[in-house]
Amino acid sequence: MTTLAQTLPHPEGLSRVVNLLLNVGHAIDHMFLLIFATAVAAIASDFGHADWTELMPYAAGAFALFGLGALPAGRLGDLWGRRIMMIIFFIGMGCAALLVSLTQNAWQLAAALTLLGTFAAIYHPVGIPMLVQNVPNPGAVIGLNGLAGNLGIAVAALVTGFLVKWIDWRAAFVVPGLFSIACGIIFAITCPKEAESPSRRKGGKAKVTLTPAMLVRVFAVMTAAAAVSTVLFNFTTNGNSQLLSEGFMGVIEDPAVLGALLAVIYTIASFAQIVVGRLIDRVAFKPLQLWISVAQIPLLIFAAHTHDWWLFAALLAVMVFIFGSIPFTDAMIVRYVDDRLRSRVAGMRLTVAFGFSSAAVWVLGPMVKEIGFSNALWIMAGIAAIKTAIVLLLPDEPPAEVMQT
């Protein structure tokens, strides 16, 4: 019997449907983790909490497991195969989201969100290496995949806002959960079984070969920069909904409209990854990453002192550069790491980065309650400056004649 995967050939061995689902998986991964951040005010009210800031720390487990789970997920992706891990991802995310919708108090919510974060940990160390294996233009592929992931963030803001308004916050988890399960079933049908696991395959060599000492340095800088970047990413994506609510108070207070505004910001900013992804394949790697990091500092400071529509413009600019910096780490893994090890290396990097940055989610509510969003954004500008200093430590690549491609 001819399957859809066989009728839609892809030069890297994946059908168009499978490639589409791998990109949709990135959208699901980011969307599901941010449904809570968008609906937190409604959930807090339903659970009897006086303010959304009291409930925010209960989401920290999801982001901690999002990082800590990446290491075993990456190892299993290399050893078991990436197809089976992606099926587990889709079905697991959907079931965990349905479980979140059934919770009745903060601790039940925390447990269900933590389970959601555990399944979410699978995507980055498994889905992205599966997508870029043997492609000639990894930067462009990663940029498109990043666009898909951040459109998931936009969908979270838009869909959650309307579902909370029209039905309730539980529907905001049920509808995407059923969608994810459907994607998992389609993926299982259309994605052919792997002949052998990535750890046993030949080929997929690193684009650039470095000395062991330089490779260690690159991994250290990559992990540190990713950790700092993820702090900025988690703080903004988890806090922007409430930041806009505060900034537009007295001007716009409809949660559906505010969700739509946030979706516009995320949608426009997401296209920065397409641009950066293509630039990664064409221009010097280190200077590009450096200037994107530098630009975040004044923009975060500007956002700290704006309200209503000026805040909207400032947040749009901030998110363009925060989203634009995302493709670098995955591009570095493709550039320097053999495909047989990519899921494990990505898992190690994500475990450190997301495990460390889950603190941003933990402290977001208490910090904003104590010092306000303006001072918190100044702190984020300082963190952006630290990231810039870390990127300066990235070694220059050796001359082209000593590279092995």
Asked if the structure places residue 376 within a domain, the reply is: yes
Asked if the structure places residue 5 within a domain, the reply is: no
- The predicted pLDDT at position 348 comes to 64
Q: Which of 257, 271, 234, 273 has the alpha carbon at shortest distance from 361? A: 234
Asked if the structure places residue 349 within a domain, the reply is: yes
Q: Enter the tokens of residue 262.
A: 């946030």
CA atoms of 211 and 50, how far apart (whole Å): 56
- The predicted pLDDT at position 87 comes to 92
Contact 197, 81 (CB under 8 A): yes
Which whole-number Å values give the CA distances from 228 to 138, 149, 262, 363, in the listed order? 23, 19, 23, 15
CA atoms of 151 and 323, how far apart (whole Å): 11
Asked if the structure places residue 403 within a domain, the reply is: no
Q: Enter the tokens of residue 100.
A: 């979140």
- The predicted pLDDT at position 352 comes to 64
13 CB-near residues (< 8 Å, 6+ apart): 134
Domain residue limits at 66: 15-194+203-397
Contact 52, 44 (CB under 8 A): yes
Asked if the structure places residue 10 within a domain, the reply is: no
Contact 362, 113 (CB under 8 A): no
pLDDT tens string 72-112: 887 787 777 788 888 999 999 999 999 988 888 888 888 89
CA atoms of 161 and 230, how far apart (whole Å): 24
Q: Total domain count for the chain?
A: 1
- The predicted pLDDT at position 363 comes to 65
CATH of the domain at 284: 1.20.1250.20
Asked if the structure places residue 2 within a domain, the reply is: no
List, as one string, the DSSP characters of 91-121: HHHHHHHHHHHT--SHHHHHHHHHHHHHHHT
| Residue 198, H or E segment | none
Query: What are the mean pLDDT values of the chain's consecutive 10-residue runs (405 residues total)?
Result: 38 70 88 79 78 74 77 77 87 92 87 89 83 68 77 76 81 90 92 64 52 69 76 77 80 78 83 79 77 89 87 89 79 64 62 63 67 84 87 63 38
CA atoms of 160 and 14, how far apart (whole Å): 32
Quick one: the chain helix, strand, coil %, rounded to 5? 80, 0, 20
Asked if the structure places residue 25 within a domain, the reply is: yes
372 CB-near residues (< 8 Å, 6+ apart): none
Asked if the structure places residue 6 within a domain, the reply is: no
CA atoms of 44 and 54, how far apart (whole Å): 8
- The predicted pLDDT at position 78 comes to 73
Q: What is the largest CA-CA distance in the chain?
A: 65
